[in-house]
Chains A and B, each alone.
Chain A
Amino acid sequence: MSDVPWLVLMIAVPAVGAAVVAALPAAREALARQLALAVSLLVLLLAVLTTIAFDPGGERFQLTTSVAWIPDFGVEFALGVDGIALSMLLLIGVLVPVVVGASWRDTPPPRPGRPARSMTAFWAWLLLLESLMVGVFAATDVFLFYVFFEAMLVPMYFLIGSFGGPNRQYAAVKFFLYSLLGGLVMLASVIGLYVVSNSQLGEGTFAFDALRQLEIDPNVQKLLFAGFFLAFAIKAPLVPFHTWLPDSGAEAPIGGAVLLVGVLDKVGTFGFLRYCLPLFPDASRDLAPWVLVLAVAGIIYAALLAVGQSDMKRLVSYTSIAHFGFIALGIFAFTTEAATGAVLYMFNHGIATGLLFIVVGMVIARGGSRQIRDYGGLAAKAPLLAGVFLLAGLASLALPGTNSFVSEFLVLIGAFPTRPVFTIIATVGIVLAALYVLLMYQRVMHGPPRGVLLVDEDDAGDGDTVRPASGGTGATAVLEAPVRARVLAVRDLSRREIAVVTPLVALILVLGVYPQPLIELISPAVEATMIDIGVDPGGSTPAAPGSTGTGGTD
């Protein structure tokens, strides 16, 4: 079974799917989304099969494929995964079908006076994005990684720019330019690495395994590190390179936002772990304190900003920035436990925040407004919606019993022995997380009924069942209610919506109590990374493999 080029298939299948969907006439929207769902489920299946074919105890990079691509530059089309990359592929496999389901009834943004845009393009871009996301995690050639890294911007740009909220143009351009600037600076470092390899090995190469062996002068290392770091810090994003994310997260369509925060941004933290640490170990060690300052500042600062948001999508975006601070803390603490926690965090955050975004999207689909103040008391009429909202929120604030707890806890206990001060400050972020999540939940779901979903009682008879989202026009102003009583007209979760949230809810609960398989998948790769940077995986953290036991304490 290991002869099957699983990774190539995982890239090719959604790419071909995207081409087919794009070729469909605009009128065949229904067929387009069915195809998108089918293709994304097929990729999920491939991801699962890939995981089965992968031997956690085997070599670091498995399922490798390598074909010469541009021999003049020493570039190879080289794919391969370690446990870390594989966990990200699984995350992609899970999230994309869910996103397809969640976007099933999405309509393109209204355009006054003209027929609405067809959604066919949305599905095509989504599948293309999936293909490129798989590529970026599966590449083992730095040049190839860079190509996927940059090419990924294009579908996301169109997803935000064509199908996003009212301010989508601004958000799309900001997203593209920030990422492009980071990418270009990284390109300088990529070329620098090539030149170093050319002088040391006598032959320029971009192969990760070869580059890992280089002995680079510490000062050169710092320069090259800075190039990679900037790109990843923008992508992840770390404060102060984060300002694009709230705009993009708020304006992107829900499906795009889930993938943006859930997967795309993980490329940044993945890049820290895969490229910054092993390729530039000395620079990483020297500069780690500064990175940790950014990480911890991000945890506190973004959490404080999240508390103050009135727009639900912006709020969720800010919570993500805080979470990325935790992940960066775990990575740059240089202990196996913390790094394992960080990788686990990357996976869990994709699930938990993905669910939170999707539920927020469901609320917005009902009311047509992103503002918290436009909602209130929904729980009474829509208990399921409220329940899932609460669960997603609790997972986001890392309550014990949810998946995020395991990872956050691992990061904190892993980082404490080496970086006690940073860890203690970071802990404050947990308190703030409870604040922003619960405040949002309470205002939207509880309290007296209020907001855009109120209708006069006379209309309620038919409005209660038939009235769907009011087309997303965002009419937020509600006139003072006359004397007549007004009631909330809100549907609870439909069958489709239940089907969409169920897998994520299940993963949150299962991984909350039994994270072991995932930890076993990623810990060999994390240990290998720690060896690369000269940290003895067993030494500084005596209970390294046993640390997985801590995950099971809840």
Chain B
Amino acid sequence: MGAIEAPELSFAALAPLLFVFGAAAVGVLVEAFAPRAVRHPVQVAIALVGTIGALVATVLLAGTQDVTAAGALAVDGPALFLQGTIAVLGALSVLLFSERALDPARSAFVAAAAVPAGSVRDRELATSERVQTEVYPLATFAIGGMMLFTAANDLLIMFVALEVLSLPLYLLCGLARRRRLLSQEAAVKYFLLGAFASAFFLYGLALVYGATGSVRLSDVRVAVVTEGGSALMVLGLGLLVVGLMFKASVAPFHSWTPDVYQGAPTAVTAFMAAATKVAAFGAVLRLLYVAFGTADWTWRPLIYGLAIVSMVVGAVLGLTQTDVKRMLAYSSIAHAGFLLTGVIGLGPDGTGYGLAATMFYLLAYGLTTLGAFGLITLVRDGDGEATHLSQWAGLAQRSPLVAALMTFFLLALAGIPLTSGFTGKFAVFRAAIEVGAWPLVVTALVASAIAAFFYLRVVVLMYFSDPAPDGPTVGVPGLPTTIVLAITAAATLVLGVLPGSVLDLAESAAVFVG
């Protein structure tokens, strides 16, 4: 038996990942050793350094086309673009987490998660200003997992990344300070269904390994070309896709989304809606384009069908929602369908505009949805956030600025021109039409029109309805939330009005290595 050789590692190419995981590890140490008084600012600073450092690293690495860690990790355009996107969304989410001006108890997170909800101790803690800071290392680990997910060039690494990003998220979902039972229910639900989906992924991985003899995406590709699609491999691909679609909240694997989005602390929901989607689609794109890009006859009908189901389910069920967070959850499902429309846009020989369009859409959607959830944290009543739609009636009179911003974000989600949502939709629809997916695009447009109705309903409520006498108040956000709202709103506008340079960037980045 020979000695095990350490694989070649290009530390420079891995710098974004190292930054984030390093920050997460330091965060755990701080949590253990730093005194309580300084923990919060230190943790926020570490998480921000980690994410922003990762962002800078991805920018510096731009243009790299490399496979490292014995072929397990790809550092290429899509990986870097999506890692940068996740880093931005992650940094903004960390800022949302660190907001201390809104809740009278100074944090949206529970003081001691292990205390049973409703117990005497819990009631004591509910009003105390103690904050728990483990959310920051948890979130940083999740961000790291997401970034790893988009770079995984190997199905095993992909699975590891899936777990690294999922486990902290399950915990984060259960950490709401208010309505704790709902939050814990969300966490359990997410965990159970997430575990189920991971099992699907793992089973698919095993079948693909059985069919091709390798877990490396490039080897899978070779096997697909030489041997064609055996039943085993097709089955494996299907199961892998199921596992990924669960994370991307694509219908019909979406059933967790509304409950978890509603129950989780809103800042965490924002993080999940924005960053998890980017990561999941990063993996979907890599799996389908790199490993199965030559066998698009296998996955194209599958993705086609999923896209239609997701758009229709998201748009139609969104109509019946009475809770803002649940409504945005269904919106997220519909948007997953639009994103799959972009995924379809892979032309012959790896050409086609689909990759660039999907990546642009991910960035645009992530920023917009982050901003929309950020605004939800501002609208509060005595019992925490006021998320029932009826409570939003007449909000424009209480706070014209919040109502105007929310309207802007909703118009962007609806895809009205001069917002980033429109540019993104245009890009993915164009990609799909270029490969002849007419019916899909027409379905997408009809779904957009249906979805517009529920976005508009919120606008109608805010502007044209009379406020309830005991309606919610609009909190004055502290600096972190203000920064988040300013950046997301500016990005939504700029990507709608002058998207040229970012589109260029996405297009130039749209080359997979491998």
A146 and B417 in contact (CB under 8 A), knowing A72-B503, A161-B463, A161-B464? yes
Give Cα distance in the complex from A192 to B434, angstroms: 8
Query: A114 contacts which chain B residues (CB < 8 A)?
Result: 397, 466
* Beta-carbon contacts under 8 Å, B132-146 to A: none
Q: What's the interface size class on B, roughly?
A: 35 or more
Tell me the bound Cα distance from A172 to B418 in angstroms.
21
Interface string of A354-372 (1 = CB under 8 A from B): 0000000000000000000
B411 near A169 (CB under 8 angstroms)? no
CB distance from A261 to the nearest CB of B (A): 22
For the complex, give the distance between the alpha carbons of A185 and B429 in Å: 12
Q: Is A123 an interface residue (CB 8 A)?
A: no
Q: Is A510 an interface residue (CB 8 A)?
A: no
B297, chain A: closest CB distance, angstroms: 22
With an 8 A cutoff between CB atoms, is A528 at the interface? no
Q: Are A185 and B445 in contact (CB under 8 A)?
A: yes
Contact with A along B407-437 (1 / 0, CB 8 A): 0000100101110001100110110011000
A191-239 CB contacts (< 8 Å) to partner B: 191-192, 194-195, 198, 223
When chains A and B are docked, how far (Å) is the Cα of A192 from the Cα of B498?
23
Once the chains are docked, how many angstroms separate the CA of A161 from the CA of B507? Answer: 41
Q: Which of B430, B452, B457, B464 contacts A180 (CB 8 A)?
A: B452
Evaluate contact between A172 and B452: CB separation under 8 angstroms. no
- Smallest beta-carbon distance B181→chain A, Å: 36
Chain A residues bordering chain B, tally (CB within 8 A):
34
Q: Does B448 interact with chain A (Cβ within 8 Å)?
A: yes
In the assembled complex, B480 has its CB within 8 A of some CB on chain A? no
**Is A532 part of the contact surface with B, judged by Cβ < 8 Å?**
no
Per-residue CB contact flags for chain A residues 54-65 toward chain B (1 = under 8 Å, else 0) read 000000000000
The answer for the CA separation of A73 and B430 in the assembled complex, in Å, is 9
Shortest CB–CB separation between residue B492 and chain A, in angstroms? 15
The closest CB in chain B to the CB of A113 belongs to B466
Is the CB–CB distance between A188 and B442 below 8 Å? yes
How far apart sit A177 and B427, CA to CA, in the bound complex (Å)? 23
Tell me whether B449 and A181 are in contact (CB under 8 A): yes
How far is it, in angstroms, between the C-alpha of A147 and the C-alpha of B446 when the chains are bound?
18
Q: How far is the CA of A191 from the CA of B422 in the complex (A)?
A: 13
Residue B460, interface by CB 8 Å: yes
B-contacting residues, A129-185, CB 8 Å: 146-147, 150-151, 153-154, 158, 161-162, 168-169, 172-173, 176-177, 180-181, 184-185
A161 touches B433 (CB 8 A): no
Complex: how many Å from CA A60 to CA B206?
A: 66
The answer, among B417, B429, B438, B453, for a CB contact under 8 Å with A151, is B417
Cβ contact within 8 Å between A173 and B441? no
Contact residues in A for B433 (Cβ distance below 8 Å) = 188, 191-192, 195
| A191 and B464 within 8 A (CB) | no
Is the C-beta of B500 less than 8 angstroms from some C-beta in chain A?
yes
In whole Å, how far is B229's beta carbon from the nearest beta carbon of chain A?
A: 29
- Say whether B426 contacts A191, CB under 8 Å: yes
Provide the bound-state CA to CA distance between A146 and B445, in Å: 14
Q: In the complex, what residues of A have CB within 8 A of residue B416's CB?
A: 150-151, 153-154
Secondary structure of the A contact surface, majority rule: helix
Bound-complex Cα distance A162 to B407 (A): 14
Is B463 touching A151 in the complex (CB atoms < 8 A)?
no
Closest B residue to A194 by CB, please name it. Answer: B430
Distance between A530 CB and nearest chain B CB, rounded to angstroms: 31
| Residue A111 CB within 8 A of the other chain | yes
Q: Tell me whether B464 and A162 are in contact (CB under 8 A).
A: yes
Q: Would you call B429 and A70 a contact (CB within 8 A)?
A: no
CA distance A158 to B433 in the complex (A): 34
User: Does A187 sit within 8 A of B, measured CB to CB?
Assistant: yes
Question: How far, in whole Å, are A341 and B22 apart by their CA atoms in the complex?
Answer: 74
B445 and A162 contact, CB distance less than 8 A = no
Contact of A150 among B417, B438, B457 (CB under 8 A): B417
Docked pose: A176 CA to B418 CA in angstroms: 17
B460 touches A161 (CB 8 A): yes
Taking CB atoms, residues of chain A closer than 8 Å to B448 are: 184
B471 within 8 A of A: no
Contact of B504 with A by CB under 8 A: yes
- A70-B499, A154-B416 known; A184 and B434 CB under 8 Å? no
Q: Are A73 and B464 in contact (CB under 8 A)?
A: no
A71, A153, A180: which contacts B449 (Cβ < 8 A)? A180
Q: How far is the CA of A177 from the CA of B455 in the complex (A)?
A: 11
Beta-carbon contact of A172 and B460 below 8 Å: yes
B192 contacts the other chain (CB 8 A)? no
B456 at the interface (CB under 8 A from A): yes
| Residues of chain A contacted by B453 (CB below 8 angstroms) | 173, 177
How far, in Å, is A180 (CB) from chain B's closest CB?
Answer: 5
Task: Give, as a whole number of angstroms, the nearest-CB distance from A277 to chain B.
Answer: 23
Contact bitstring B375-418, A, C-beta under 8 A = 1, else 0: 00000000000000000000001000000000000010010111
Q: Which residues of B contact A (CB under 8 A)?
A: 397, 411, 414, 416-418, 422-423, 426-427, 429-430, 433-434, 438, 441-442, 445-446, 448-449, 452-453, 456-457, 460, 463-466, 498-500, 503-504, 507
- Given contacts A114-B397, A147-B418, A194-B430, 4 further A-B pairs with CB under 8 A are A151-B418, A177-B453, A188-B442, A192-B438
Chain A residues with a Cβ under 8 A of chain B: 69-73, 111, 114, 146-147, 150-151, 153-154, 158, 161-162, 168-169, 172-173, 176-177, 180-181, 184-185, 187-188, 191-192, 194-195, 198, 223
A-B contact pairs, 25 of them (CB 8 A): A70-B499, A71-B504, A72-B500, A72-B503, A72-B504, A73-B426, A114-B397, A114-B466, A161-B460, A173-B453, A173-B457, A176-B452, A180-B414, A184-B445, A184-B449, A185-B442, A185-B445, A188-B429, A188-B438, A188-B441, A188-B442, A191-B426, A191-B441, A195-B433, A198-B434
Q: Which A-B residue pairs are the 9 nearest by beta carbons? A: A147-B417, A72-B503, A184-B445, A181-B449, A150-B417, A169-B464, A161-B464, A191-B433, A191-B430
